Structure 1
Amino acid sequence: MSSNLDALYRRVIMDHYKKPRNRGVLEDSSLTINMNNPTCGDRIQLTMKVDEGIVKDARYDGEGCSISMSSASMMTEAIKGKKVEDALKMATLFSDMMQGKDLDDNLDLGDIEALQGVSKFPARIKCATLAWKAMEKGLKEDGQH
């Protein structure tokens, strides 16, 4: 990866960290999931409103490193308005990306691609996947798909 791309990715990650999207708690949420990463001290509370198989809204709250909080911001942006099965597919894709697997070049992951470099740092993968695992757990336990 070029240093220009690395710098761009770092800017995207820091932008989500400093100006988080969807931070807070949904009052009328249908799902609340609490998860933490004891290795790093990251913790997240994810609230989602799921209606008729669609993720209508998603918010997160918590504390952690820039990777975990940026990932949560990107994830909530990415899943809003998506069908539950599409959100779960995105979680699988994200997991594949974190494991360094090659992804289909036709996929547009938007800002999420900025987290690709995390796969080179095994200790940080749990930070990046925390919000995604919370979303996956909540949607699978909810069973609205």
Structure 2
Amino acid sequence: MSNNLDQLYRSVIMDHYKKPRNKGKIEDSNVAIDMNNPTCGDRIHLTLQVDDNIVTDAKFEGEGCSISMSSASMMTQMIKGKTTEEAVELAHVFSEMMLGHEIDEDLDLGDVAALTGVAQFPARIKCATLSWKAMEKGIKEN
């Protein structure tokens, strides 16, 4: 990855970490899930509002490293307005990206693309995928 792109990605990640989007809790959510990463101590409480198979709202609380918390911020932004199927499909795409696999370059990942470099650090992949796995589990269980 070029140094400029690396710098841009780093600044996007830190922006989401310092000013997380959708931080908080949906009081009367119909999907709530807690997950943690025992390896590093990251933990997340994710609440979703799903109406007619559409994720109408998504919020998270928790604590963890910059990768974990910025990924949760980006994920909640990305899935709002998506169908549950689209949200789960995005989680699969994200997992593939974290494994270093090629993904469809026409797919607009927005800020999530900034996490591409995490694939180079196997110990950090679980940090990045925690919120995505929580979302997928929450949707499948409800």
What is the TM-score normalised by the length of structure 2? 0.99
Query: Given residue 77 of structure 2, which amino acid in structure 1 is its aligned partner?
Result: E
Residues 1:117 and 2:141 aligned together: no
Query: Given residue 32 of structure 1, which amino acid in structure 2 is its aligned partner?
Result: A
- % of aligned pairs identical? 69
Offset at residue 31 of structure 1 (A): 0.9
Offset at residue 104 of structure 1 (A): 1.1
Residues 1:20 and 2:20 aligned together: yes
Offset at residue 105 of structure 1 (A): 1.1
| Runs of 4+, deviation exceeding 6 Å | none
Residue by residue over 1:80-102, the C-alpha shift from the partner in whole angstroms, topping out at 9 and shown as x without a partner, is: 01000000110000000000000
* Structure 2 segments unaligned to the other structure (5+ residues): none
Give me the whole-angstrom Cα distance separating, in 2, the residues matched to 1:81 and 1:102: 26
Give me the whole-angstrom Cα distance separating, in 2, the residues matched to 1:57 and 1:28: 11
* Structure 1 segments unaligned to the other structure (5+ residues): none
- Identify the residue that residue 66 of structure 2 maps to in structure 1: 66
Give me the whole-angstrom Cα distance separating, in 1, the residues matched to 2:121 and 2:76: 23
Residues 1:91 and 2:79 aligned together: no
Residues 1:37 and 2:37 aligned together: yes
- SS of 2:56's partner is strand
Give me the whole-angstrom Cα distance separating, in 2, the residues matched to 1:106 and 1:81: 19
- Identify the residue that residue 47 of structure 2 maps to in structure 1: 47
Give me the whole-angstrom Cα distance separating, in 2, the residues matched to 1:75 and 1:66: 14
Query: Given residue 85 of structure 1, which amino acid in structure 2 is its aligned partner?
Result: E
Give me the whole-angstrom Cα distance separating, in 2, the residues matched to 1:104 and 1:86: 15
Offset at residue 111 of structure 1 (A): 0.2
- SS of 2:105's partner is coil
What is the TM-score normalised by the length of structure 1? 0.97
- SS of 1:43's partner is strand
- SS of 2:103's partner is coil
- Identify the residue that residue 107 of structure 1 maps to in structure 2: 107
